[in-house]
A and B are shown apart, each in its own frame.
Chain A
Amino acid sequence: MLIASLSLPEQVVLTLAALILLSSFLLLAQVRLDSLINTFALQGLLIFFATVLMAFIAGKYHLLISAALTLFLKVFFIPGQLRLLVIRLDIRREVEVIGNPMLVMLFAAALVLFSYYVALPIRELSLLSTRNTIAISLAVVLIGMLIVISRRKAVAQVVGFMSMENGLFFAAVVSTYGMPMVVELGIAFDVLVAVILFGVFFFHIRTEIGSLDTDRLNHLTEVEK
């Protein structure tokens, strides 16, 4: 479907989808934990706007409830909780060590192409005007996974995990106007519980190995060889 044949709100949704993809790339590029969390909140905000617009385009007002949940959880609660953790653990300025940043970026770009080809047949099954964004949401999920793989610190891995959830939620919104309410509420509470559990885990990991570097969980002895 050519973009010029869509209505203006639909064009805005497509633009927001592209911006969400950009925010995934920004998440990948951040080296400081506090800016990582801020970017994550920005991604949540973009998804909130996209969901509200979709609700009005389709006239499916139950999406507004999902949007409100997104706003509360992804923009305020989870980033706030993570910020609190980062301050308590005193790792705000911690510089993340990842491989070659440019190489990781190019790999992420390759993931976008990959998800485009994977999503081509799926796209044919949907009749929504925003079906082209399925590939983008798949790419957001895959880039979230890449963040989990390429980061060493547990907090950044949690952000990657949450960003994967963002991608799934966005996929549901743009391809089928959201999941059933029960499922959505279930996921929301899962995420809520996950963040609190992760918080507890961080403290445990730290007291056990004296660092949040999950690579060191592989060591069997306490003495470096």
Chain B
Amino acid sequence: MTGLLWAIAKTLIVVLAAPLMAGWVKWLKCRLQNRKGPPPWQPYRDLLRLSRKHVVLAKTASPIFRMAPYIVFSVTILALSTVPVITVQLPVAALADVIALVGFLALGRFFLSLAGMDVGTAFGGMGSSREVTISSLAEPALLMAFFTLAMNVSSTNLSTVISVLGQRDITLYPSLIFSSMGLVLVAIAETGRIPIDNPATHLELTMIHEAMILEYSGRHLALMEWAAMLKLTLYSLLIVNLIVPWGVALTLVPGDLAFATLIVICKLLLWGALLAVSETIQAKMRLFRAPQFLGLAFILSLLGMMSHIILEVQ
């Protein structure tokens, strides 16, 4: 029972802290570009402001349009609850299956793109079509990277993967190097960062995620924005805990948990800083180059799996 409470508390804390992660990346990016930048807690203000405003609905909006923000938001929370943050010893660990995680994300994306097309404006449909194109290319790469990890530790359970990887002797695994690179590329594409999508723009020719949620306002928009921040946090947690699995607590001792919290915050801040630097030194790609980018991600994940089979097992 206490384990269940821990699990709920963990998810709640991560959900509440997610805007801070997005704000941190944004603030750091602004500083790197010699701008003052909004403070890291600005996303909280934005969410609060949006949730106070009235919802404006288009005449053509169907119930799906109104349901979608709640579905997307709650599905993303469900996905987030499967990712181990500071400990692998939770009763929900049995749920933490990577294939289920990919399924949750796909469900959220399905409703997001439906909502984009629902009102019938040109932008929404365009955004949905782009989102689906990109995710249909990103998902095989993501699954392939996960399968490589799963073959390495003989489990698709995230908690098991992290605890086995964290307890191993230091060994150079070519397969893990490749699948981590693939995972990072997929994460960049899926969270809509530069070079695939620019989260800071509303320029109609380039946007993907912003185009889908263009028709939303008020609390619906707040939920959609929050879900996007949750997704960024989810992928960040996956990356830091799978690539650098050391520091995740293997027990429920409070001392270990406090230490693990400190470590995971440091890892997340560092990953956010890397993301900000890479967004500063890169320009956004043309949309037609995105398949190439994701093709590279797929080849990396595939090479990871092949080098596991060829080089690492007898």
Contacts and interface: CB of A to CB of B under 8 A. Distances in A.
Question: B168, B178, B311 — which one has the most chain A CB atoms within 10 A of its CB?
Answer: B311
Contacts of B175: 18
B120 to A, nearest CB: 33
Interface stretch (A45-53, A76-84, A128-136, A155-163): A128-136
Contacts of B307: 14, 18, 21, 136
B107 interface: no
B172 A18 contact: no
A185 interface: no
Interface residues of A, number: 27
Given A15-B172, A17-B311, A136-B311, A112 B306 contact: yes
Nearest to A112: B306
A50 B187 CA distance: 31
A101 B171 contact: no
A19 B169 CA distance: 22
A29 interface: yes
A102 interface: yes
B303 A18 contact: yes
B205 interface: no
A112 B311 CA distance: 12
B57 interface: no
B308 to A, nearest CB: 9
Nearest to A19: B174
Given A18-B178, A25-B299, A105-B295, A136 B171 contact: no
A11 B314 CA distance: 14
Contacts of A58: none
Interface residues of B, number: 25
B294 to A, nearest CB: 10
Contacts, number: 69
Interface in B280-314: 291-292, 295-296, 299-300, 302-303, 306-307, 309-314
A188 to B, nearest CB: 28
Nearest to A21: B303
B310 A3 contact: no
Interface of B: 168-169, 171-175, 177-178, 291-292, 295-296, 299-300, 302-303, 306-307, 309-314
A209 interface: no
A105 B297 CA distance: 12
Given A3-B171, A22-B178, A132 B311 contact: yes
B314 A14 contact: no
Contacts of A18: 174-175, 177-178, 303, 307, 311
A11 B295 contact: no
A41 B175 CA distance: 24
Given A3-B171, A11-B171, A15-B174, A105 B310 contact: no
A116 B303 contact: no
A1 B310 CA distance: 10
22 contacts: A2-B312, A3-B173, A4-B168, A8-B172, A11-B171, A14-B312, A18-B174, A18-B307, A19-B174, A21-B303, A21-B306, A22-B300, A29-B295, A29-B296, A101-B292, A102-B291, A102-B295, A112-B306, A112-B310, A116-B310, A133-B311, A136-B310
Contacts of B168: 4
B205 to A, nearest CB: 23
A122 interface: no
B311 A4 contact: no
Nearest to A132: B311
Contacts of B292: 29, 101
Name which of A8, A22, A135 has the most chain B CB atoms within 10 A of its CB.
A22
B310 A132 contact: yes
B233 to A, nearest CB: 30
Interface in A102-122: 102, 105, 109, 112-113, 116
Contacts of A102: 291, 295
B177 to A, nearest CB: 7
A8 to B, nearest CB: 7
Given A15-B174, A18-B178, A2 B306 contact: no
A22 B178 CA distance: 9
Residue from the set A18, A25, A112, A116 with the largest chain B CB neighbour count within 10 Å = A18
Contact of B312 (A3, A12, A29, A116): A3
Interface string A157-190: 0000000000000000000000000000000000
Contacts of A15: 172, 174, 177
Nearest to A11: B172
Contacts of A12: 172
A101 B295 contact: yes
B314 A1 contact: yes
Contact of A3 (B291, B300, B311): B311
A42 B288 CA distance: 27
A113 B312 CA distance: 15
